Structure 1
Amino acid sequence: MKREILGVKIDDIDKSEALAQVKDRLASGKKGYIVTPNPEIIMLAQADPSYKKVLNQAFLSLPDGIGVVLAGKILGESIKERLTGVDFTSGLAALCAEHGFNLFLLGAADNVSQKASEVLQKDFPGLNIAGTYSPDLIRENHEKIMKRLNEQEIDVLAVAFGPPKQEQWIAENLAKLKVKIAIGVGGTLDFIAGEKPRAPSWLRTLGLEWLFRLGNEPTRWKRQLSLPQFALRVFKEKFFPS
């Protein structure tokens, strides 16, 4: 079931249900993409209707952030659970390993994507990493990136360009690629590769992973301004709907 938070559609499903939908989609051969909105992404969509449209055209929209789940409760749009990028990407890797689908990692720094590939293959024996590619989006032309990806057929493409670029890029190019399913994973590969520390499980359970990241990456403070802005918009929607 689709819920809606500030005009952005969110799927009210748990991790196993989401992975089951991915498996069915891969088996059918039908193309599609997955987005993982958090408060920052939802606020970006408020300022950019075209980006909101891109998010809402995804076949799966998964809540990456406790703030999205709490907003759902406040707005009467109940959402079962949050699905972090790291957890869901690991779930995708496990699915691919079990059923013989391949996975391609696009974006992040070259050493990061390669290291993430090695970690995933170690964690999920039998996983077929179709390749890793870390293009310079400023210097490399679009045709070169497309040619590199179309050298083979790809079941799942994980794109780590960061929002909103990754979702916009996927929506614009998926139809031209030999790719079945694409997902924007943001900084997920940095965590999988061990380049950035992940919050302890007890902090993640409390929904305070964002605070841990801010402590480790103080330069993120400008991005974190979207959190109070998101909260204000949610309360305005609840008590003063337009």
Structure 2
Amino acid sequence: MKVDILGCNVDRIGMNETLQKIEEFIQSGKPHHIITLNAEIIYKAQSDSRLKEIINEADLVTPDGSGVVWASRYLNAPVPERVTGIDLTLRLAELAPKKGWTFYFYGGAPAVAEAAAENLQKKHKGLQVAGTCHGYISETEKQNLLANIRKKKPDILLVALGAPRQEFWIRDHQKNLQVPVCIGVGGSLDVISGRAKRAPVFFQKAGLEWLYRLMKEPHRIGRMTALPKFSLLVRLKGRRQ
């Protein structure tokens, strides 16, 4: 089941169901695109038809963020919980050694993907990482990256280029790469590498991670203006239903 939030279809799915779906995707061996979708990107999709198309053609779209959870409830089609990019990454890293799944990390500043992979391997014995690459590479290096991913054949490719850039990148290359699971994870690698700090548990549980990020990075305020605009559009849609 899905909920239509401003023309973007979000799966009404929790973490455990998401993990089950991912296992099915890996077993199939066919390429799949997973989007962890937040309110900011839904709002951006209102003026970007290609982005909306990519969201609605993805194989799985999880509710990433309190704004999406709120909107689903307001529209009387509630999702069970948030399934964020970082939480999904951490759960997959926990499962991977038991399942024999391999990862490839792409994105972030130099050394971030490598550090994130190393930290996860320290925490989860037996975690297999097929390769890492930062997001600041030349056009020639990008072709080498694609060739390397095809050669290494990971089960899960985590792309941390920021949304929606990472969604466009996955869409453009997933058929060529043939990776069973491609996920855009935004700033997750920054946190896992230790480069950035995640919001304290209180902020997470209260659905206020956005506020913590804004407090730490005031320059994000321009982006945050999308949240009240998103809320207004959802309320207008709800009244018309």
Asked if Structure 1 and Structure 2 have the same fold, meaning a TM-score greater than 0.5 normalized by the shorter chain, the answer is: yes
Match of 1:172 in 2: 172
Runs of 4+ in 1 over 6 A off after TM superposition: none
Query: How many residues are matched?
Result: 240
Q: Distance in 1 between matches of 2:129 and 2:29?
A: 19
Match of 2:34 in 1: 34
Query: How do residues 1-242 of structure 1 correspond to structure 2 at under 5 angstroms?
Result: 1-136=1-136, 139-141=138-140, 142-240=142-240
| Cα displacement string for residues 137-192 of structure 1 (whole angstroms, at most 9, x for unaligned residues) | 5x324423322322321110000111111111111110101411100001110111
CA-atom RMSD in angstroms: 1.3
Q: Distance in 2 between matches of 1:124 and 1:208?
A: 29
| Aligned residue type for 2:116 | A
| Aligned residue type for 1:190 | D
Pairwise CA distance, 1:136: 2.4
- Identical amino acids, percent of aligned pairs: 40
Contact between 1:105 and 1:132, CA under 8 Å: does it hold in 2?
yes
Q: Distance in 2 between matches of 1:8 and 1:135?
A: 27
User: What SS is found at the alignment partner of 2:111?
Assistant: helix
Pairwise CA distance, 1:240: 3.9
Q: TM-score scaled to structure 1, two decimals?
A: 0.95
Q: TM-score scaled to structure 2, two decimals?
A: 0.95
Q: Distance in 1 between matches of 2:192 and 2:85?
A: 10
| Aligned residue type for 1:94 | E
Q: Distance in 2 between matches of 1:232 and 1:225?
A: 12
Contact between 1:152 and 1:178, CA under 8 Å: does it hold in 2?
no
Contact between 1:130 and 1:154, CA under 8 Å: does it hold in 2?
yes
Contact between 2:29 and 2:179, CA under 8 Å: does it hold in 1?
no
The 10-residue stretch of structure 1 (145-154 or 206-215) with the greater mean CA deviation from structure 2: 145-154
| Cα displacement string for residues 67-120 of structure 1 (whole angstroms, at most 9, x for unaligned residues) | 100001111121110112111111111222210010000011121111101111
